[in-house]
Structure 1
Amino acid sequence: MILTGACDALRRLDAHFAPSASWADAGAVLERVADLRIARRGDGVECDASFIDGPSTCAARAPDVRTALLRAFVRARFGDEVDTPPSFAHRIEHGAAVRYDPGVPIPEADDDPATGDSSEIRSIPRM
């Protein structure tokens, strides 16, 4: 079993995506906020946020503040449409998701190493 450390818990690396309800997982996003406006509207929350390394302010609406902030962050980084993650266990190879069997070791290196800053949110995930 392979585990990965998250902000507040250990998670299985080969597990399906499971959103967290923890504010600790939103901490990295909060640190990137340059300006933030929150307004409660009816049964939801509207968030207008601009980020330190982002080009403009992005708005998002959600049932709670945390979800609205994270939606604004995703919108700022990836645009209005984001691809659905693959439903199968995968790794990234040459910028594309490639199927692998859980339990089989992930190769140590790829022939095409990712370029750029590994801390950049848009960079290709490293192994």
Structure 2
Amino acid sequence: MDISSLYGSSALDSTAYTNAANQTAFKLQDKLNSSDYSKATDDELMDACKQFESYFLEQMFKEMMKTIPESEDTSSSNSQLMDYYKDEMVQQIASDSTEQNSLGLAQMLYEQMKRNYNLE
């Protein structure tokens, strides 16, 4: 049985979408693991925390968007283009939200990391 016949091309698109999200997560994890934050400046530490908050918000928004039903009357190429722009929009909204301290998650992480690395 061919899975694409059950789900159409959206199953293949979701696989590519998942792979792209995993690559972003791996890049962020590599950056966090390769950095020694015990010697980090306040700005570097806050930047890492903001990147994490932005990534967290981006993933949350993308999961929320999955709950919205999609219309089936768009072509495959239009759908891929719309998915690209949706992803770009979500990344920008997550980044803007982080810069405006909307959740405060970055600030909490920053304070916790300062305590953990004895940077106070």
> Fold-level match, TM-score > 0.5?
no
The structure with more strand, counted as a fraction of residues: 1
Tell me which interval the TM-score lies in, with the shorter structure as reference length.
Answer: under 0.3
Relative contact order, CA 8 A, sep 6+: which one is greater? 2
The structure with more helix, counted as a fraction of residues: 2
Structure 1 length-normalised TM: 0.25
Structure 2 length-normalised TM: 0.26
